[in-house]
Structure 1
Amino acid sequence: MLIAVALATVFGCIGLASLGLRSVPPNFSLLTRQLIAIGIGVAVLVVVARIDHHAWERWWPAVAVTVGILLVGVLVVGTRIRGTRGWFALGGWTLQPVEFAKIGLILLQAVYFRRRARLLDRFRTVLESAGITAAVVVPVLFQPDLGSAVILILVWFGMLLVFGLRRAHLLSIAVIGLLTIAIGWQFFLHPYQRERILTLLDPHRDPQGAGYNQRQAVIAVGAGGLFGRGFGQGTQSQLRFLPEAQSDFLPAVFAEEFGFVGVAALIAVVMAVLLRCASVARRCPDDFSAAVVVGFALLFGIQAFLNLGMNLGVVPVLGIPFPFVSAGGSAVVAFAAGLGIVSGIAGRTPRAERSTYEFEVIPS
């Protein structure tokens, strides 16, 4: 798993190095900042991996308070970037609390599932779990950061499914979800967010406005062909036709320069991490450990594939970075912390030990 993640960071650094060539003279400041973030992330990973993961189960009140302070604090004193008040300005750097809140939510839900695993057949338990998620999602929506809110909800829902959500409850959640989407569309989504979704349904709706970024990304992906144009030879990125190339659309840069083979390598990295997490989760001796591993796998996989979907034009542009690939120090450090917890769990779980936790089929 660590090798796969290391490859992902290498792929990301190659993409950022390519973007540095589009300036005259070349400017590798993005790559430099990413390398610093990776260095901090490695240190965090090593420290966190050495902590007994069951300590997080005892520290859940501190985790909850920290997440709450960060998410509320950023609404009060945070810096607004591209219309979203989601960052703390720290000198020449910024800190994005929602990236750490994602890991925090996984830990909080893991604690809850550990204590209520045998009560998931009760709808009240599902609602209580939803309340924990809502407490994190609501301040994120006020930033507004729709992409992160969607990820938080999907990770929570995925954890419910893995732990054995009843079909009757699944139907109830679907109805509540549809009503929430309808209300959110009417009263809470900003016009630019609605426009992005409508543009996905009709790509020719606003090709020079809301649909421009995604259209350029799709062009870049298509231009790469099988083997790509070569390092630093992508026209969409080098000629600056592709906005946010360093973050949301870095996979499109990679696709144009390294083709289908490069994208396949990215997908292979994601699958390697997910398969390794599944293997670790099945060996976990308790529900808390398994829930943490499953939650991290869901977060990593959902975020990676939603980002790829954005780059391929099949998912609305939600501002979701590719884990360990896209530029963004907060995301790198937060995912490194999550990976450290999972690595610690893997290291403390004997390979021969059978798990007391089993993935459950949704009962009727």
Structure 2
Amino acid sequence: MGMRDLATLPKAHLHLHFTGSMRPTTLADLAAAQGLRVPSALLDGVPDVPADVRGWFRFQRLYESARAVVRSEGAMRRVLREAVADDAAEGSRRLEIQVDPTSYAPHVGGLVPALEIVLDEARLAGEATGVSVGVVVASSRMRHPLEARTLARLAARHAGDGPGAVVAFGLSNDERRGDTAEFASAFAIAARAGLPGVPHGGELLGPEHVRDVVTHLRPRRLGHGVRAAEDPALLDELARAGIACEVCPASNVSLGVFRESRHVPLRALIDAGVPVALGADDPLLFGSRLVQQYAAARVVHGLDDAAIAALARDSIGASLAPETDRRRWLTEVDAWLAAPAPTAPADAPAAGAAAR
């Protein structure tokens, strides 16, 4: 008996960063057009990160190199258009893509134009592909909390649930930097505009950091959250509160949080009743897209198709799409699972790719 095709499984992709979504070919094109050099690690097609060089600082250096080639409205639109197309090809019904417009503002005339470019292209790309696209405006822990307030106000002015609207407010970058409590006022500004909080937490730091984020930022979802598995009581708290974790196995391994994909505590989260939305995080750097995260759940963690479908339902339920859309997609997941499994294995990423 074969396994159902993961690329046809209806799902929501809730953890994808704007720059990190870039295709390597696009990175190469943009760099060549500007006479810029980028590290070979971004272009060599080798997704595995050697264990002895894994870590945040390597990642940050590569990310900044990639971001440096996105210097125009056209480049921004291309990156987003291709990200949506790539998700459409993997069965995503919903994409919530995260962007910090501060990074691109100097090249397009300011924060407002930078965000409006993203929102407009999100709408256009969604119409072209049929993918529902929401934008998460995210501040950085590396910058002053007052800048987070500025971004929260900007996000609030573009809040909504229609195509290409800002749907949430986030906080990203190195979890070890900044005081979480100092960002609470920015999240309060966003919340008054109806924007849920979706901050990163619990990847580089452990359970106490998760508690800190939950206490001060009152998140709807946690970016990563995997380190919560180290504290069963915390898992129970997250499950009771219905706080979903956006789990990105390839990211966890590449950053050295876990040595191998099998060590990512996916089953612990599921068994505790915590909603889990698998995400690719930064495919450009981690060499692994969304379907490969589902393949890892199947091949590495041993989840059968019923459990895989439950993960897809979790992702849809944790999304910020309109309720009518979510109901329709959940019905499509049921249809995927109800269909007979193929008699031969469906085309899917190889087990080696899934384990990254």
Shorter-chain TM-score: what band? under 0.3
Q: Which has the higher strand share?
A: 2
Which fold has the larger relative contact order, with Cα–Cα distance below 8 Å and residues 6 or more apart in sequence?
1
Q: Which has the higher helix share?
A: 1
TM-score of the pair, normalised by structure 1: 0.26
